[in-house]
Amino acid sequence: MSNPSQHTGMIYLVGAGPGDPGLITLKGVECLQRAQVVIYDYLANEQLLAHAPADAELIYAGKIGGRHNQDQEEINRLLVEKGREGKIVVRLKGGDPFVFGRGGEECEALSAAGVPFQVVPGVTAAVGAAAYSGIPLTHRDFTASVAFVTGHEGKDKSESAIDWDRLSLGNGTVVFYMGITTLRSNMERLLRHGRSPETPVALVRWGTAPTQQVLIGTLGDIADRAEAIGFKPPAVTIVGEVVALRDRLRWFDNRPLFGRKILVTRAADQAGEFAAMLTDRGATVMECPTIKLVDPESWEPLDSAIRSMSDYDWLVLTSVNGARRFFQRLALLGLDARAVGTCRVCAVGPKTAEAIRACGILPDMVPSDYKAEGVVAEFAKLAMNGTRVLFPRADKAREVIPCELKRMGAQVDSPVAYRNVMPDRLPPEALFSLEKRTVDCITFTSSSTVHNLADMLGSDLLVNMLKGVSVASIGAITSKACRSLGLKVDIEPPNSTLAHLVEEIERHYRSIR
Ligand code: SAH
């Protein structure tokens, strides 16, 4: 038998933060990355589990709405047991482990059992909810102190451990945790002990999350207001003059797309930038790729075109993806941007132009109308007769460019640079959200995103599932595909770029707010 001390594990009590998965500490993430076991709570955002290694053991140890002592003892036992097995364990707790998190009790159990532990603090709910609702907990003009108070004292305590007198006098901000079911009695106690009924109060539910809900009132009326709308936990109650600052300092839940769930149907490797633009404006983005980009069946046509680049007068690229793949292929053949030589380059729009510039070439032509027709219109201004054009493209690309350029007398080669194929399946979470009718908007950024979704669901089911969902299409061609399948297009920008699409979605929701 080896020395047991070599097998002693380490338990990290890690604060997960209040909800927004970006609010965990760097140290917390590092612990998760090394974890063999993660024991997590109901309040810890499950997205954080993605930081743990794929083979880590994940144990859910939370109960909705309060935990019993018995469960807590079980958790303590589990921590000791896993520690003794020599495991690296992350005990992931909502907010901060030492603020109403029973982290102290867990550490006591570990200490008594001689199992080593470390504590990584987190953003506690009061701090997170205050920041994301625009309520500074202290402010020179209003208050110099803040108290975090349990709104739900242990049932076994017959006398209050809270000094209501001190809490009620003066102008200190008071934040109650676990105080929604007991809201009325807590507010009454503050009033009875001397706080003014006019004192502003905010209830912040699911603070920092896309589902954050804030209810504003006063000490005198907040309980009635909460009851009237059936306000539910988990929420913190912030009492104090600082609450009034929200009028001016609100920044999170008044963003144009806040609370909107938007489905993105682009290919997974193309969705990131678009998703980030929507998320920045407050939307909850759900990725539902309906396209997968794969290699052509044969590289031969593209390779031989690349090898004889000097024969071409124009290179036309009509997508970021096409541009990237063209230059990747060039590199694989042992060539670089110089191979393009004196051949002039056309980019369909600013994004494609950017991708081409990243490969060291300044595009010679970017039409003002960012689609195939715009490219054709630009070429129509030139003498095209006898020119040779290379147009590397997707297998399902429209024929507009080759057809029209040929009509102008050009000789066009259009080898396939990538194929758009249907993914094997749609993500279950996306289907679930559609079935539950919790999706506000679906975005289509090319006609194949629409056609593929219709093929995967069947067009009847598609129309049915998208009832009540706003359809946002990047431009006329995609909209036509939507309509041909019986979908009504609600949002279409004047220019076919992602930035314009995002702007148009924003305008749409502003107009119906
Ligand atoms: N250790 C946690 C608190 C756990 S007690 C922390 O430091 O935040 C549970 C209470 O925390 C809930 O009843 C609620 O009052 C509060 N809470 C936790 N997450 C919250 C959130 N995202 N928004 C508002 N209140 C939250």
Is the pLDDT assigned to residue 84 strictly greater than 70? yes
Report pLDDT digits (tens) over 320-346.
889 999 999 999 999 999 999 999 999
Is the pLDDT assigned to residue 145 strictly greater than 70? yes
**The residue to which tokens 């006398």 are assigned:** 159
Question: Is the Cβ–Cβ distance between 25 and 121 less than 8 Å?
Answer: yes
What pLDDT was estimated at residue 3? 45
Do 261-291+423-511 and 295-420 have matching folds? yes
Q: Where are the alpha helices (DSSP H) in 319-390?
A: 320-332, 350-358, 372-379
Is the pLDDT assigned to residue 513 strictly greater than 80? no
Catalytic residue check, 63:
yes
What's the 43 CA to ligand 1 centre distance in angstroms?
7
**Other residues' Cβ atoms within 10 Å of the Cβ of residue 461:** 13
What's the 234 CA to ligand 1 centre distance in angstroms?
6
Among 63, 71, 165, 364, the one annotated catalytic = 63
What pLDDT was estimated at residue 67? 54
For ligand 1, atom 13: residue with the closest CA: 178
Q: Helices (H), strands (E): how many in the chain?
A: 19, 21
Residues in the ligand 1 pocket, defined by CB under 6 Å: 18-19, 43, 93-96, 99-101, 124-125, 129, 177-178, 204-209, 233-236
What pLDDT was estimated at residue 345? 97
**The residue to which tokens 């036309």 are assigned:** 316
The Cα 188–Cα 208 span in angstroms is 28
Closest atom of ligand 1 to 125 CA is 8
Is the pLDDT assigned to residue 174 strictly greater than 50? yes
Average pLDDT over residues 379-397: 93
Is the pLDDT assigned to residue 64 strictly greater than 60? no
Q: What are the strands, taking DSSP E only, across 240-336?
A: 261-264, 284-287, 292-294, 314-317
Domain boundaries, the chain: 10-122, 127-249, 261-291+423-511, 295-420
User: pLDDT class for 41, splitting at 50, 70, 90?
Assistant: confident
**Other residues' Cβ atoms within 10 Å of the Cβ of residue 409:** 11
CATH match of 10-122 with 3.10.20.90: no
Burial class (CB in 10 A: 0-12, 13-18, 19+), 340: buried
Is the pLDDT assigned to residue 137 strictly greater than 50? yes
Is the pLDDT assigned to residue 443 strictly greater than 70? yes
Pocket test for ligand 1, best of 43, 93, 231 (most atoms within 8 A of CB): 43
For 261-291+423-511, give the CATH class.
alpha beta
174, two tokens: 């008071």
User: pLDDT class for 212, splitting at 50, 70, 90?
Assistant: very high
For 127-249, give the CATH class.
alpha beta
Average pLDDT over residues 481-486: 96
Average pLDDT over residues 423-435: 92
Q: What percent of the chain has pLDDT over 90?
A: 84
Q: In this structure, are strands 388-390 and 470-473 parallel, antiparallel, or unpaired?
A: unpaired
Pocket test for ligand 1, best of 119, 236, 238 (most atoms within 8 A of CB): 236
Question: Is the Cβ–Cβ distance between 30 and 88 less than 8 Å?
Answer: no
**Other residues' Cβ atoms within 10 Å of the Cβ of residue 180:** 20
| Mean pLDDT, rounded, of the chain | 92
Is the pLDDT assigned to residue 417 strictly greater than 80? yes
101 vs 506 pLDDT, higher one: 506
Least confident span in 56-65, 207-216, 477-486: 56-65
User: pLDDT class for 5, splitting at 50, 70, 90?
Assistant: very low
The Cα 83–Cα 201 span in angstroms is 43
Report pLDDT digits (tens) over 286-323.
999 999 989 999 999 999 999 999 999 999 999 988 99
The torsion angles phi and psi of 390, rounded to 5 degrees, stand at -105, 125
CATH code, 295-420:
3.40.50.10090
